[in-house]
A and B are shown apart, each in its own frame.
Chain A
Amino acid sequence: MTPPTAMDATSADTTPDAAPRLGPGTSAALPSALVTGVGASGHPGGPVVSTRDASLSFGERVLWSGLNLDIAPGQFVAILGSNGSGKTSLIRVLLGEQPLSSGRAWIAGEPVQRGSTKVGYVPQKVSIDEGTMIKARDLVRMGMDGHRWGMPIGFARSRRAIRRTTDTLLASVGAAGLGDAPVSMLSGGELQRVRVAAALASNPSILLTDEPLAALDLRHQQEVAALLDRRRREHGTAVLFVTHDINAVLGYVDQVLYLAAGRFRLGPPQDVLTSRGLTELYGAPVDVIHARGRIIVVASSDPGAGVHLSDDDHGATDPPMSTTRRFRQ
């Protein structure tokens, strides 16, 4: 048996069906294939993230169910959906901080576990407490070995080696000159780059990012997005990118995972972000408008409610739940 490849994921969802792609029969056979096919050492061509029949619910509320993901190395996947649709929860599942209600999930062929070095994480929160006197270089180093017990003391060679590694990491995110600057004195964009460097310090197979652009202005949004794109192209690090506004990364995205109303759609953006597809997903009329190279998702009955054409429009792909609810009344 061969493990599923990324082609399954990208090609399978070109049909407008909003229903989960794989039936229970198919999914039952796949996990064992994955476990045996992808060893602990990682499978060079195998998916870096896989889920089978994964579902998450809190009490009665089902965030998503029947989720079958296969993300190949180097893929850029945007996770979209309204507030409370389970985007951040999916990240937390992959970080091993939130157990699935049912189904299974793997990172690089191994069941998800907390603290995996194969996962890099960039949170939404950018700021670090003011007055935290620690150098950018040391923040990056925490990504390498900050979780280990003991003192961060290295001598001569190991010290130089660590310094070289942190310098390389900082240079790779365009922050070469920032190593000795205290993190509390960095701007939001600079700090987010340093955070990306820290997340890459363990040389992860996948970078989980939870709205990494939300606190940044437009220019820095573009810089950080380009940075993530460059990393996945040059090093094959897959990127899972939770966002409210796909437009900042539209040019880079291979796949979109759209979560809504306990269901999901997965596929290339041009297939998922269609009026018909999202209407089915939401169970309410939704329009996808292409305007000046941007994609705007609005509830059809009340176009004014969702349309904001300003550049800092974080709600652009976020049909307001209030509008959807209004339908049901």
Chain B
Amino acid sequence: MPRLLESVRWAEERIVVDMESRDRTCEIARQSGATVVSTPIAPRVDGIRNNFLEQGKHEWVFVLDSDEYLAADAEWVVRDLIEQHGQRFDAFSIPRYNMIAGQIARCRGWYPDQQIRLFRKGCVRWSDTTHKPPVILTSRKRLHVLEPPGCLHIHHENYASVEQFIERQFRYALNDQYPADGFSFERYVAEAFEEFNYRLDEKNDGELSFALATVMAWDRVIRGLIHWERTGRKDSLSRAYSLPVTTLSRYPDCLFPGDVEELRNRVRLLESVPGAKSMARLVKCFRREHRNMKERLKRMRQRFRR
């Protein structure tokens, strides 16, 4: 908190929304000259912001979380942004550096991690979620996206350790809302594969990349299980492991390593030509080419015969 408050000392007005903190948050905030307002603790923080956006007396609002801060040159960069683009745009999307376990993550998904945080009052609204982007109420065209490098960033010290990261992901998954219908555990499992391949970036993040990619893949599976239970355990889970792919990619622009991508293509083909013979042929063919996936294919075949 002290670092955050210090980094925005230049702002005309600073409002700290306290969610029943039991530490010295309120005291530190008041000492630094910020206005403190209180709200009951809530499982999802995004929507809470909406209640306080109107309390500021000024035209432009910059929203930051308590584990974030801005750089030393933020004052003149923000003033310059508003002066230069404030007429044409209502909101700015700002890239964010995420520091995880002492390292700034640079892989996809963690960087540039665009955040809509600087906007004209009344033009942006969040939903009752956790870590989801808000809606621009005027028009998406009124959003100006800052392109790194060399631009304003939000600095986010997310997690001190991998253990803390796991703990937090678990909490987010439990506190999130899940749709009442449309459950598909296959999709969650497939997204786990995608998530792993999407996040893995050894060149930029080294060994930590494996840890983060694994946790994010695991997060999809855990969410699937929570969703399954909350929708009354109606659907079968075992089916997911017979076909670990999805037909819809969350990341359509990304290339995935050979095996998974290849398998996905085959399934697309299968969908367009359904039928026992084509499935058998595809599986047999795939098995010949990918001997290392023998066990998985065996399960697929068993499932198919049944």
The answer to whether A and B interact is no
